[in-house]
């Protein structure tokens, strides 16, 4: 785990996602087929903002939030929040069981 500015951690997680595959998947399955790249980003950023708030209020090493087929996982080494804490952020697109390996 590395201590990074929060936006940098999110940008790094997003850089590993193939948004073209996600868009294609949504169109093929007709699941929010109108979603564009900006819509996906808005969803993820909204979830991330909520997750950052949860980490300050919660007493856990693990926080999870999901919506619109996106999962965000925040993991830290301590139960209580500490400013500039080290953490791991995972962002996944999980459309259906077993399918996510090909799309994030």
Give every strand in the sheet of 87-93, ordered side by side: 62-67, 70-76, 87-93
- pTM reported for the whole predicted model: 0.83
pLDDT at 73: 95
> Does residue 101 surpass a pLDDT of 90?
no
At 3 the pLDDT is 52
Token pair for residue 56?
């300050």
Residue 74: strand pairing partners: 63, 89
| pLDDT number for residue 103 | 43
Coil, strand or helix at 75:
strand
Task: Answer whether residue 22 shows pLDDT above 50.
Answer: yes
Look at residue 97 in the predicted model and tell me its pLDDT: 55
Per-residue pLDDT band for 99 (boundaries 50, 70, 90) equals: very low
Q: Which residues contact 5 (CB under 8 A, 6 or more apart)?
A: none
């Amino acid at each position: 785990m590395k201590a990074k500015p929060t936006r940098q951690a999110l940008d790094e997680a997003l850089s590993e996602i193939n948004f073209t595959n996600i868009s294609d998947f949504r169109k093929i399955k007709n699941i929010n087929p109108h979603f564009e790249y900006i819509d996906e980003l808005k969803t993820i950023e909204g979830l991330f903002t909520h997750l950052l708030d949860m980490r300050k209020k919660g007493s856990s090493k693990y926080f999870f939030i999901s919506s619109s087929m996106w999962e965000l996982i925040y993991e830290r080494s301590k139960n209580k929040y500490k400013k500039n804490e080290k953490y791991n952020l995972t962002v996944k697109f999980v459309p259906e069981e077993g399918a996510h390996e090909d799309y994030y």
